[in-house]
Amino acid sequence: MKKFLKIIFAAWILIYSSIVHAANFDEVTEISREIAKDYYDRGLETALKYSELTNYSDHGINHAELVAIKSQAAAEAIDLAIKNNPSTRYYSEINKIELQAAAFMHDTGMDGGKFKEYNNGNALRKDHSLNSAIHVLENRKEIEKLGVNVDAVAVDCMAHSKSCSGVRDLTSAEQWTNCFDRIDAAVKLYNEKFPDQKIYFDKSTWTDGIRIKTSSEKDKMKLVEVYNFNRKFLSQTSSLIAALRLGDANREAAEYPFTQSGAHIEVDFDSYVADAETWKDEIKNANVILIDINGNTANLKDSSNDIEGYDRMYSTGEGNLSMNCIYNPKTKAIQEQFKIHHAMSFPLSTQKCIEERLEELDTIKKFPVEAEIVIDIKNLTSNERRKIKKLYRNYCKSAKKNHKYLVKLKIEK
């Protein structure tokens, strides 16, 4: 598997050598990986301590490398969409070097950081993007050598998660204000705990710190204070984070099926409940085998850590998908592409995982986006073809209505 990743990564560098000078890009990659690796190693150790993280999908160094590849592909698509849609003033060309550094650092906070204590893995997970931002600031001198704005990389890491950062709308001054305030508060706590190892966060690139009053997004009758942002620099950050979010969502779980604790995931795609009405019913028979780092095996169906079935849902759904982000010249939109590996297996779990990716597109407000689901039905029976086409057509129709952009189905016969 490591050999596979190296081959893919080497091929990717060749493809993108025209974007940035290869030596510079190689240097950024190597330095970023070197800085991040120890944090990711500690993240694996941390996952073994918390039952909530044991079966969580991998967020280690190999995940970061996959995200780096997919993020750069998304960045190319976004840049083309910006170029051909000049009215997209909330977004601007992406700094590929900064993106590479952020991709490698974005999940380092899964180690738990060192300035807060956590009683459970879920609390740690909610703070992981904030901890990643702090790790960037801890390594200011090393990251400065890359020729990037260290504070920008910290913001990238903080905001890569829409749920953990609270930035669910990349054009929202109110949400960005709260995000910057959380970084400031975390830096303050860090410096109080480690007065001899002080770090700092400089937000002057984006704002002079002056707050203005505006109507709250949730309650127009209520006034809130937001930073007076420099729209140019905030648009650069928003574009980069859009690419990072899509790259993070599009990492190939099927190609690297591991958990955060290092266990290998093996899915029996024939073990689903056919014609189930919900994904929870669908995964009741799912044989998802975990082989831990010591070679011990366990079936998630029998696991007390997966009573609700979420780990099985993600293992089967994400393992059934290949994803990519491209630019569609016909519509001038960025398009999320979903390739279904096993057409008849775990369709509801697969749709649940597609839905999460569409929610990432939802955060790229005021920007042309769309999605396409591709299914190969050549080896299916006539009855299976009718069933699966109906199932996914209904889903696409519903998704288009819910997300307010095109979600189409492509059938390969």
Least confident of 13-17, 247-251, 397-401: 13-17
* 318-412 is a CATH 3.30.750 domain: yes
pLDDT digit string, tens, across residues 43-95? 999 999 999 999 999 999 999 999 999 999 999 999 999 999 988 899 999 99
Instruction: Reply yes or no on whether the pLDDT at 193 is more than 90.
Output: yes
User: Is there a contact between 335 and 324 (Cβ–Cβ < 8 Å)?
Assistant: no
CA dihedral of 299, 303, 307, 309, whole degrees rounded to 10: -30
Task: Give the DSSP letter of residue 305.
Answer: G
Look up residue 58 and give its DSSP letter.
Answer: P
> What are the boundaries of each domain within the chain?
2-249, 264-308, 318-412
Find the angle CA(106)-CA(131)-CA(148) to the nearest 5 degrees.
50
Given a cut of 90, whether residue 351 has pLDDT beyond it is: yes
**Mean pLDDT of the region 136-149:** 96
Mean pLDDT, the chain, integer: 93
> What is the pLDDT at residue 218?
84
CA-wise closest residue to 64 among 223, 205, 247, 215 = 247
Q: Can you tell me the distance from the alpha carbon of 365 to that of 297, in angstroms, rounded to the nearest whole number?
A: 44
pLDDT tens digits for range 89-115: 999 999 999 999 999 999 999 999 999
Distance, in Å, from the CA atom of 116 to the CA atom of 124, rounded to the nearest integer, reads 9
Torsion (CA) 71, 77, 83, 89 in degrees, nearest 10: -60
Q: How do residues 197-226 score in pLDDT, each as one tens digit?
A: 999 999 999 999 999 999 988 888 899 999
The beta strands (E) that lie in 182-238 are given as 207-215, 223-229
Provide the token pair at 227. Answer: 């930073």
Per-residue model confidence (pLDDT) at position 86: 85
**Can you give the pLDDT at residue 150?**
98
Amino acid at 3: K
How many angstroms separate the CA atoms of 57 and 288, rounded? 13
Dihedral sign, CA of 42, 48, 50, 55?
A: positive
